[in-house]
Amino acid sequence: MNKLFSTLFSSLRAKFTSLWTRLRLWVSPTFWRTRVFTWLRRAFSTLFDVRPKHKKDYYVLLNWMVSKRLAFAIVVVLGVLCVWFILSMLPTPASAGNTGVTINTYRYNSIPLKFQNGTVRILAADGHLAYVGQVQDAKCEGAGTLYDKDGNTVYEGAFSDNMYNGTGTTYYADGTVQYTGNFTDNLYNGVGKYFRPTGVLEYEGDYVTGVRSGKGTLYNSTGSSIFTGSFQKDQIVFGELVDKATTDVAQMYTGVSQVYSSSSEYCVYMEEIGAVYAVADGTAALDDSWNVTGVYVLGSSALIEGEIYSSINRITQVLGDPDYSGTAWVDLAEAVCVNQLVQQEADTVEAVDMEIASSYEGVYTVSDYDRDGELYIYSYQRDGLLYTFYCTGAGIDQFFMYAIQTA
């Protein structure tokens, strides 16, 4: 009897062991992974076994015979690629900060993006987040924010036709505001404020197509106002100072000044804008008005009739032949300009000897200076003004300073 129970128990154990082994095999990830890979290998082997085995395995197109299996394989591959492309183009939901609002994310060339209107997130070609904001007809339209590849904000504000249009703000790479104001087609246009990389205001006023043009105020590196007046092509319109009363000019230029006077000559060096203006003595005038007779600008480019020129040849083409070209003796304003250029380490000019009788807080009384010093000049007259350009010698096309005076 014991032998019989032992045999029965052995048989049952063998059956349950086999069942348990199979159960463990079926729940094993390795088993199913192997089965799936085997099935896929066989399927792909069958799919890509495109070698025809019979003439019925061909499609006949005119004089061409195309393997049916090859055609089927191509269709399958194209179908898979199309599905992958469509899936990659579908938007990815993302939360907009702490608002809890979900915004769809699209690649910049996504087909579904072309049918979106509203707020979206757009990825650039390299995958970084480039834009968050409103779109319409596949274009940035409305309020939005543009980012660079490092995630820094480049611009935030109004968009139209994929460009900055309206009111907005641009930023330096470190997040400091660069410009805030009006834009037209990505250019500063209208009223705006421009800031230095340090965050200090540099200019506030009118812009035209990306450059300072119109009325505006210039600030120095500490944020103090130094000049309020007219600008054009990013330059101060120095010509508007000529023939103005010195009291008016003092309201326009509020930066650091140096006043020079001799027995009969007076001039003021406007240090922070690099210019000197000469003054006519007004003590004999009925209204005791001291007026500016000329402005001397330390620079190698000049604003003439709305355009910037830095060549004597080009100026001659615009203003005609010079009324005078040759050497001229220096006056007090010219001597001050030349000495300022020398202090700025300009190697094109030599200092003019000047004797200072007294000085007090930026006011200098000049007892004498070398009036025999000579400068080579080209002079032109236009619209009641005399333009004088100073060169290092005859035939030199580049000037190192220029003057605008009453003719």
| Maximum pairwise Cα distance, the chain | 150
> Which phi-psi region, left, alpha or beta, contains residue 345 (left: φ > 0; alpha: ψ -120 to 50)?
left
What was the pLDDT predicted at 48?
56
Q: How confident is the model at residue 300 (pLDDT cuts 50, 70, 90)?
A: very high
- Please say whether the beta carbons of 122 and 139 come within 8 A: no
Q: Give the dihedral sign, CA 103/108/112/115.
A: positive
Q: Which pLDDT tens digit goes with each residue over 208-233? A: 999 999 999 999 999 999 999 999 99
What does 340-400 look like in DSSP terms, one character per residue? HHHHTT-SSS-PPPEEEEEEETTEEEEEEE-TT-EEEEEEEEETTEEEEEEESSTT----S
* Helices marked H in 205-295: 246-252
Out of 69-78, 196-205, 322-331, 341-350, least confident range: 69-78
Q: Which pLDDT tens digit goes with each residue over 34-67? A: 777 777 677 666 655 556 555 566 666 666 666 6
How many CB atoms neighbour CB 23 within 10 A? 11
**Single-letter residue type at 271:** E
d(CA 195, CA 214): 18
Enter the tokens of residue 289: 């008005």
CA atoms within 13 A on the CB side of 311: 4
What was the pLDDT predicted at 267?
96
| pTM (2 d.p.) | 0.76
What was the pLDDT predicted at 103?
81
Tell me the β-bridge partners of 127: none
Listed by start position, the domains of the chain span: 22-89, 90-151, 232-406
Q: Which pLDDT tens digit goes with each residue over 115-125? A: 888 999 999 98
**Does residue 98 carry a pLDDT above 90?**
no
Mean pLDDT of the chain, nearest integer: 86
What was the pLDDT predicted at 60?
65
